[in-house]
Amino acid sequence: MPDIKFVIFDMDLVLYDYDHQIRLKLLEELTGRPAADIDRSVWGGPHENAAEAGDPATAEAYLEQFARLLEFPIDFETWADVRRQMMRPRRDVLSLVRRLKATADIALLTNNGMLLKDALPVCAPETVEIFGEKAHVSAEFGARKPDPLVFERICGRYGYGPEESAFVDDRAENIEGAQSVGLKGHHYVTADGLETFLRACRLI
């Protein structure tokens, strides 16, 4: 049996291309507000980091806060469609993750608020197909990457010790957070690099 039994994947810029500028352009077209103003209002303050750590605690409350910061009424369907349009699946990476399911337990962990959890079937249906109920946003755990707590909590939820677990992310600081509590980390750059890592772990 492999030493690593549980592999946790980030979503944006690992499993999917992610373009914040597309989101800003779409929101500018929707609201008539300049994209730079939207960026400052919605993402320039503390609100998004707090949401990623679980405050607000519900999708509904997150959407209300988003609309307030956007200064424009927005419904779930519009929000989810904007998120969908700013993402593109990385088919080669998703194929690797599908292969991995034969030898390891897997989960998704993305720094996001509770609204994205509800929107995954719309904007990232592949995550629902591959991970099922193990597709998680950080808000579910009351902490956001790179806080070591989020890694301890997701491993604990599924009954794995950190030493049995690995984590894949595009941000070095998030890898360091995972490694600080004993997970094996892979700093994602390319699909080939990820495949090499998984082979080294005897997982594919």
pLDDT digits (tens), the chain, 204 positions: 459 999 999 999 999 999 999 999 999 999 999 999 999 999 999 999 999 999 999 999 999 999 999 999 999 999 999 999 999 999 999 999 999 999 999 999 999 999 999 999 999 999 999 999 999 999 999 999 999 999 999 999 999 999 999 999 999 999 999 999 999 999 999 999 999 999 999 999
Burial class of 166 by CB neighbour count within 10 A (0 to 12, 13 to 18, 19+) = buried
C-alpha span between 138 and 173 (Å, rounded): 15
Give the pLDDT confidence score for residue 2 in this predicted structure: 53
Give the pLDDT confidence score for residue 197 in this predicted structure: 98
C-alpha span between 161 and 159 (Å, rounded): 7
User: Residue 99 contacts by C-beta under 8 Å, 6 or more apart in sequence?
Assistant: 204
Give the pLDDT confidence score for residue 1 in this predicted structure: 44
Of 3, 16, 5, 13, give the one whose Cα is nearest residue 127: 16
Cβ atoms of residues 108 and 127 within 8 Å: yes
Model confidence, pTM: 0.96
DSSP 3-state assignment of 126? helix
